Chain A
């Protein structure tokens, strides 16, 4: 499994990572090696095996859909972590041009 530089660049873009040329080259080789190793999974016969979603047997854990207030000091502390906020909201960049 050999990933080309274009493929690595594409994956980095999907993952929202800006990488240098040196990084693209390095990770390209390393990821190709890891994927080649992982390819051995294809030899396992999984006929009839359901994909694992949960290991402890819990099913449909539900709770009431209720709104509860967040303690104001915790809320303020959370807002303080954002680079920009305004009137109790986190400020984001324009998404739609």
Chain B
């Protein structure tokens, strides 16, 4: 086995035993990126020099007696997470040359833990999408089939983990953006509880649902990363002090998992349904009891999400004004357009934004501007926030009677690049099974549970607020009883 193929747990063991060094591990990942990323296009920036310097430092720290699960472990970060001194583009033209002056809190924590940043991964521009096709720098390709999307918006992160370019990657999940690509690429992705990990230093999208989390090769690895990035942050007032529930490995006997009937519907591909049903059988063998439950407002999840998200997007993206940072028509390289005359303030706003944002960002900004504008606020935004309350309440109620919920992550496997990109509404419906947990702020984990048409199928576990530990326990037991997580794409 090559070093880049290791899980965090395996590599940490070898590092601790001094069988390998972080420099060797990092070189193996960099070599793998060089070998396959020309085809997959998961990385927007690779910082080879910095990574090797950080790896050397990690080795020195270890030589000085320091220990830690992530000390010397190489990773990639989604490019909407700010990294000091390393370009952060959010896959947008408007941030093409942006260099963040400081690290996001989660990056800072990983630095302190000694993890090695290899580079930054592709995404749908500003994380707006479910396929990574909305990147201003071109789509990422699914390692299992290069003609297909990796899912999104954390598509680069998921593809890079699936192709062993790194040991883990960071993503952000606003309405499925970690879980959807994890499912499409056959890996594990965790959306932590809202407020569990700090949003400080993320390029804000939908502040009321954004949450960063890990994409990993195993469930245990996701727990390791969450352990480091979780915690209250003075700089994000929505983070909480509540400690992580301990990750107890153990039997699943006496556990009850809920199956929300609104997530097992016509329209889901037969192969996906079969894979998830087989997984349920496997859980039964492990002693889990299942209970059918109902979340009647499920079908309103996507419409609620596509009011709240664009509304918050239109407000959050107002900061890109061509004045403080990012693409600007104020000065070259873009010359003033109005016949050599200098642009006025209004033109600087409208032209910088008109040229800098891609189609989906523009659509969402306009949809949100409309939903929040005078005369429409009550009908759209206020109504959506009230329906959101109903969605949240029914999740909380149902979760009182079970230990967690199990659903498919997506109604189908990865689709072809270009197949859906001309119809935004169709793309929004991709989020049908993933928006609920986001709107309710619940933790949710996607993990591989089989194949349909030779492409990975993901199952989703949704837990009680702040009970990531239960998802790890259930996921880990499934992983030990199956071999889906060991299947690798051949590239």
Contact = CB atoms under 8 A, between A and B. Distances in A.
A3 B259 CA distance: 40
A30 B424 CA distance: 7
Contacts of B357: 17
Contacts of B385: 51-53
Contacts of B227: none
B323 interface: yes
B424 A55 contact: no
Interface in A1-36: 3, 8, 11-19, 23, 26-27, 30-31, 33-35
Given A42-B379, A63-B234, A74-B101, A55 B194 contact: yes
B369 interface: yes
Contacts of B98: 81
Interface stretch (B264-272, B303-311, B402-410): B303-311
Contacts of B388: 51-52
B348 A93 contact: yes
A51 B386 contact: yes
Given A12-B366, A17-B366, A34-B424, A90 B324 contact: yes
Given A17-B362, A37-B425, A82 B386 contact: no
A8 B367 CA distance: 10
B90 to A, nearest CB: 14
A90 B337 CA distance: 22
A26 B366 CA distance: 13
Interface stretch (B121-129, B215-223, B326-334): B326-334
> Which one of A37, A46, A50, A95 has the greatest number of beta carbons of chain B within 10 Å?
A46
B165 interface: no
A33 B208 CA distance: 25
B314 interface: yes
Q: Is the interface of B mostly helix, strand, loop or mixed?
A: helix
B338 to A, nearest CB: 11
A77 interface: yes
Contacts, number: 174
A77 B99 contact: yes
A13 B346 CA distance: 10
Contacts of B355: 18
B344 interface: yes
Contacts of A18: 347, 350-351, 353-355
Given A38-B380, A44-B300, A46-B387, A77 B101 contact: yes
Interface in A40-92: 40-42, 44, 46, 49-56, 58, 61, 63, 74-75, 77-78, 80-84, 90, 92
Given A23-B362, A84-B330, A16 B324 contact: no
A71 B355 CA distance: 33
A12 B362 CA distance: 9
Given A17-B357, A40-B300, A55-B392, A34 B324 contact: no
B162 interface: no
Interface in B164-219: 193-195, 208
A49 B345 contact: no
B386 A56 contact: no
Given A19-B354, A56-B240, A94 B325 contact: no
Contacts of A16: 318, 321, 346, 349-350, 353
Given A17-B357, A46-B386, A56 B344 contact: no
A44 B306 contact: no
Given A18-B351, A31-B370, A55-B208, A82 B323 contact: yes
> Which one of B365, B387, B440 has the greatest number of beta carbons of chain A within 10 Å?
B387
Contact of B366 (A8, A44, A49, A50): A8
Counting contact residues on chain A (CB < 8 A from B), the size range is 35 or more
Contact of B331 (A11, A63, A81, A84): A84
Contacts of B72: none
Contacts of A52: 208, 385-386, 388-389, 392, 439
A81 B303 contact: no
Contact of A14 (B322, B362, B369): B369
A11 B237 contact: no
B350 A17 contact: yes
Interface string B353-378: 11101010011011101100100000
Contact of B367 (A17, A34, A40): A34
Contact of A90 (B300, B323, B383, B441): B323
A58 B238 contact: yes
A49 B252 CA distance: 37
A40 B74 CA distance: 46
Nearest to B441: A55
Contacts of B303: 37-38, 40-41
Contacts of B354: 17-19
Given A16-B321, A55-B465, A56-B193, 13 more contacts: A15-B314, A17-B366, A19-B354, A31-B366, A34-B424, A44-B387, A51-B385, A55-B195, A56-B195, A61-B237, A77-B99, A78-B325, A92-B323
Top 8 closest pairs, chain A to chain B, by CB: A55-B441, A18-B354, A51-B385, A77-B101, A81-B325, A46-B386, A18-B350, A16-B349
10 contacts: A16-B350, A17-B366, A31-B366, A33-B424, A49-B389, A51-B388, A81-B98, A83-B323, A83-B328, A84-B330
